[in-house]
Amino acid sequence: VVVLERRRVDIAGAQWHNGVLPWQFEVAGLEPPVPPEREARGAGVTHVFTPDGTHGVTVRNAPTVRADMALLGNRLRALATGAGAEMVDRVSTLEVDVDPTGRIRALDVTRGPAEGVGPATTHRLEADLFVDASGRQGVLRRHAPALARWCPQVRGDELCSASDHHVRIDDPDGAKRFLERYGAAPGQSVTIVGPHGGWSTRAVTVSEDLDHAAVLVGCLADGRYSTGPRMLDATRSELAWLGESLSGGTGVIPLRRPFARITAPGLALVGDAACQVFPAHGSGIGLGLIAGRLLADATSDAADCGDEATVWNYQRDYQHNYGGLLAAFDAFRRMSTALGSAGVTRMVSAGLLSEDMTRAGLDQRWQAPDPADLPSTIAKLARVPGVAAKMVPMLARGQLLRGVGARHPDQPDVAALARWDATVVRLLGPQPH
Ligand SMILES: Cc1cc2nc3c(=O)[nH]c(=O)nc-3n(C[C@H](O)[C@H](O)[C@H](O)COP(=O)(O)OP(=O)(O)OC[C@H]3O[C@@H](n4cnc5c(N)ncnc54)[C@H](O)[C@@H]3O)c2cc1C
């Protein structure tokens, strides 16, 4: 196995802090993060508010833990090199050699010129299987003719612009007053949903010792709302007790359900390149790690690990296990986009975001409303008919979509895949505008 990386290898991948789920590491066959890779603070209690300051719900025992992605990346790279993988970093260009059948056969890889690397050198790498884990741009994906119709450009309203920063607290009394205003304690998170469009968030977590805060902001990247960096600036202006940024990062995350087809002869897509991200909040770490595990399991014993039927098994296993769940939460993403800030405010103010449902969403699980709660849910919906008109169909679509992953075709069959994808599209309904 050879890992090709454009940056210096020690700064590859996400370099900020991410909320991750221990259960997803276990499914991927990895030890969940422990300190210092896992932050001791920040997990546990999340208070959810609307932009006008109305309290929606407080989630206790939140399942998410915060991982230092730089340390997690170091651990994963050490595991990979320990298992024999070779790292080639500062790759400046990739020439993709596709054979007449459309299968990628080789890459001509230029490394450097770069400090510590020296002048540019070019090497040819031939392999049975190429894995595109290059992030949302999918640098190999676009060279596979078989994927052209399946992996369209992801639209701006299906992308999230996000920033996550650790910021020093200059004025601890100001931080205390902020927490008091929201009924929160140090170490807990205050999350505002819908500040810039229905699908948007601002989460501030003040450390227990009032030394620093984690600020996570994100909204759709279609130019109608804001951007992660602008939301971060606005947060720092509004919360004047925040000081300079200690570390952090900014990026764009695909939010749509995974592409229906994520394999082609000689090629498999993993991570953001496959849109393996949880649509309701743009989390891709755990789902990408699980994809890596499923791909390894499907291919490692095969005589030709890039054979179409072999890589299809990875695609099938991913869609069987997660395709329905992610399509269901794509319905939720579309609903929150369609509701807009005002609609999300009405939904949360009406008490329609229960603690159990919010916790399930954070845990990346679908949970239908408890039948015992139905009379009170119906009464709440009746008070906000405009919200009900979007939320009830979403819940119905989500229930149907949840099971649709299992119907992904077992064997390579592009016509059957097209029928499956058409079913998912039909159940999802129209895109919000
Ligand atoms: C601000 C922010 C906050 C986020 N918060 C969370 C969170 O709390 N929880 C969560 O689960 N997810 C979160 N995400 C999403 C998560 O970070 C991504 O889903 C995840 O990093 C995707 O991993 P990946 O390996 O697929 O792609 P990437 O992390 O994008 O890594 C791709 C790698 O490929 C390299 N590369 C690209 N092109 C080439 C090329 N031509 N040649 C060689 N190498 C190349 C890049 O340099 C990079 O190192 C967040 C994202 C952002 C931007």
Q: Is the pLDDT of residue 419 over 90?
A: yes
pLDDT category, 8, cuts 50, 70, 90? very high
Report the distance separating Cα 433 and Cα 421, nearest Å: 22
Question: Both tokens of residue 130?
Answer: 């190429």
Alpha carbon 14 to chain centroid, angstroms = 12
Q: Give the pLDDT of residue 29.
A: 98
Question: Both tokens of residue 232?
Answer: 């971060």
Centre of ligand 1 to C-alpha 53, Å, is 32
Helices (H), 121-227: 172-181
Name the average pLDDT for the chain. Answer: 96
Q: Which of 52-56, 79-83, 122-126, 373-377 has the lowest mean pLDDT?
A: 373-377
Q: Which helix (H) or strand (E) holds 200?
A: strand 200-206
Q: Give the pLDDT of residue 422.
A: 98
Q: In what order do the strands lie in the sheet with 242-254?
A: 55-59, 46-49, 189-193, 200-206, 212-220, 159-169, 242-254
pLDDT category, 368, cuts 50, 70, 90? confident
Pocket residue to mutate for ligand 1, from 2, 5, 154, most atoms within 8 A of Cβ: 5
The DSSP line for 257-311 is PPPS--EETTEEE-GGGGT-SBTTTTB-HHHHHHHHHHHHHHHTT-SSTT-HHHH
91 Cβ closer than 6 Å to some ligand 1 atom: yes
CA R_g for the chain: 22
Report the distance separating Cα 175 and Cα 171, nearest Å: 7
253 Cβ closer than 6 Å to some ligand 1 atom: yes
Q: Give the pLDDT of residue 372.
A: 87
Centre of ligand 1 to C-alpha 253, Å, is 8
pLDDT tens per residue, range 36-91 = 999 876 558 999 999 999 999 999 999 999 999 999 999 999 999 999 999 999 99
Global model pTM greater than 0.95? yes
Report the distance separating Cα 155 and Cα 112, nearest Å: 33
Cross-strand partners of 195? 197
Q: Give the pLDDT of residue 43.
A: 53
226 Cβ closer than 6 Å to some ligand 1 atom: no
Q: Is the pLDDT of residue 433 over 90?
A: no
pLDDT tens per residue, range 161-210 = 999 999 999 999 999 999 999 999 999 999 999 999 999 999 999 999 99
Q: Give the pLDDT of residue 111.
A: 97
Q: Under 8 Å CB-to-CB from 373, ≥6 apart: which residues? A: 354
Atom of ligand 1 nearest to the CA of 164: 1
Q: Which of 21-25, 125-129, 313-317, 427-431 has the lowest mean pLDDT?
A: 427-431
| Residue from 418, 383, 423 nearest 401 by CA | 423
249 Cβ closer than 6 Å to some ligand 1 atom: yes
Q: Give the pLDDT of residue 41.
A: 61
pLDDT category, 366, cuts 50, 70, 90? very high
Q: How far apart are the first and last CA of the chain?
A: 44
User: Taking residues 274-284, what's their average pLDDT?
Assistant: 98
Question: Both tokens of residue 33?
Answer: 């993060």
189 Cβ closer than 6 Å to some ligand 1 atom: no
Q: Give the pLDDT of residue 301.
A: 96
User: Taking residues 392-406, what's their average pLDDT?
Assistant: 95
